[in-house]
Structure 1
Amino acid sequence: MKAHYIHKLISQGEHQQLDFKFEIADSKKIAKTFSAFANTDGGKLLIGVKDNGKIAGIRSEEEFYMAEAAATMYCKPTIDFESKEWIVESKKVLEVTIKKGENKPYFAENEDGKWLAYVRVNDRNILANRVLVNSWKRKNSPDGTYINYTQNERLLLEYLENNEFITLSKFKRIAGISLYKAENILTNFLSLDIIEIDISEKQVLYRLSSGLK
């Protein structure tokens, strides 16, 4: 017997573009996942599926309206999504699809009323740092990015030509500059795709873009 589409998705397990939700009890919490998907590579939520992949099903149409509230009320700018209801094992599963956003950064409002941007790393939603958020803003700015090529910019490039990666704190230390200035230089380079960012739960690394090596 041919496996159901939803079973095929579940067999992949949660990953960068797939998340399981037993239910949407809080629109603000699901908004974080919406933000992470839109700011990264897009993705799907299967609502009515437990973390272990067991199908529990959704209980009402309320799940769709909670997802809609997350996308429209608790995400800024509003995040478009597509949804489809499936019947699997005699239970309803709501598939929510979010495309990679074209107007980054996408923010989600947290429990304290703060608007924060997230990225998706493996099966986790990770807070985007200021360098990444500001690089998105500069990429979308009609003013573009202006770089004043000083000793600090040259030092960063020379370091990355001889080392695989650098951290913000390392760059700040070897350049002997303020945190603000170090962040600004990294932001400029990132917005122009001179460097790439590598985010994990433990650290954020910056490396020379693959096309420049």
Structure 2
Amino acid sequence: MHPTDESYILKLIDEGEHVHQDFKFAISDARKIAKSISAFSNTEGGRLLVGVKDNGKIAGVRSEEEIYMIEAAAKMYCKPEVNISNKIYRVQGKDILEVTIEESKNKPVCAIDAENKAWAYVRIKDENILADTVFLNRWKYNKEDERVIVTYSEREKHLLNVLEKNGELTLNKCSKLSNIPRITTSRLLADFIRFELVEQVFREHTFYFRLKEDITL
């Protein structure tokens, strides 16, 4: 063991769980861990520390089966497959597994559930959150030609004015107050975020949309 291995892991644990790090006491379900892999892949990448309790207490990896489950989650239960890297550290006489997940260049990465349905997740602070349709639209447009021009018609102006007047709104509220169909509102909000007119915030388990502070209509 390299003399800095233990201090490296203990330093990470001191950071707690955050947007780039999640603790896992144990791996018992490959499909569940696929959600975490999806979330990190769709956000900025990150790491799992397996064998660490939520409170930061070191428990240790119980068996090699947990490593196989993580690999199965990345290859079998993530679509597209995700490349991960594993490294085991010996800390306080116990094995801690560090799983490194890079940000995907091919978003969204979806986790496959027990009914074979695909769901995309994002990492917000220390939580894995199901991505909404606006995120899906943002990823869709990012795959398309960057030279696409967004039209700025009365409809776009109207939706931006609704946001300016009401502050933070949910997708449903944006659709209702602007009288624009929800599916169209979702696409327009994705365009606005892409061109840095609007920002998406997450609070109390709900996504909200608001004009960026430096935007004046």
Whether the TM-score (by the shorter chain) exceeds 0.5 is yes
Amino acid paired to 1:19: D
Question: Equivalent of 1:122, from 122, 125, 138?
Answer: 125
Question: Equivalent of 1:138, from 137, 141, 151?
Answer: 141
Residues of 1 paired with 2:127 and 2:12: CA distance?
17
Structure 1's 84 and 28: CA in aligned 2 closer, same or farther, altered over 3 A? same
Deviation at 1:118, TM superposition (A): 0.5
Amino acid paired to 2:48: L
Which residue is equivalent to 2:172? 169
Deviation at 1:162, TM superposition (A): 5.3
1:67 equivalenced with 2:70 (yes/no)? yes
Deviation at 1:48, TM superposition (A): 0.9
Which consecutive unaligned segments of at least 5 residues does structure 2 have?
none
Structure 1's 204 and 146: CA in aligned 2 closer, same or farther, altered over 3 A? same
Which residue is equivalent to 2:56? 53
Amino acid paired to 1:7: L
Deviation at 1:211, TM superposition (A): 6.3
Deviation at 1:59, TM superposition (A): 2.4
Residues of 1 paired with 2:45 and 2:113: CA distance?
20
Question: Equivalent of 1:8, from 11, 30, 34?
Answer: 11
Q: Percent identity?
A: 45
1:199 equivalenced with 2:198 (yes/no)? no
Deviation at 1:84, TM superposition (A): 0.9
Q: Deviations over 1:40-61 (max 9, x none)?
A: 1211111111122121111222
- Which contiguous aligned blocks of 4+ residues in structure 1 show a shift greater than 6 angstroms? none
Amino acid paired to 1:91: K
Question: Equivalent of 2:100, from 85, 97, 102?
Answer: 97
CA RMSD of aligned residues (A): 2.3
Structure 1's 190 and 134: CA in aligned 2 closer, same or farther, altered over 3 A? same
Amino acid paired to 1:152: R
Q: Deviations over 1:85-126 (max 9, x none)?
A: 000111111001112222211111122221001111121111
Structure 1's 46 and 189: CA in aligned 2 closer, same or farther, altered over 3 A? same
Which consecutive unaligned segments of at least 5 residues does structure 1 have?
none
Helix, strand or coil at the partner of 1:4:
helix
Residues of 2 paired with 1:159 and 1:198: CA distance?
17
Which residue is equivalent to 1:28? 31
Helix, strand or coil at the partner of 2:114:
coil
Helix, strand or coil at the partner of 1:134:
helix
Residues of 2 paired with 1:4 and 1:129: CA distance?
39
Deviation at 1:145, TM superposition (A): 4.2
Which residue is equivalent to 1:180? 183
Question: Equivalent of 2:160, from 145, 154, 157?
Answer: 157
CA contact (8 A) 2:175 2:185 kept: yes
Q: Deviations over 1:142-196 (max 9, x none)?
A: 3864533222200222344555433212221222122222222212223344322
CA contact (8 A) 1:126 1:201 kept: no
How many residues align structurally? 213
Amino acid paired to 2:47: K
Residues of 1 paired with 2:26 and 2:160: CA distance?
47
Q: Deviations over 1:56-98 (max 9, x none)?
A: 1112222222111111111111222221100011111100111
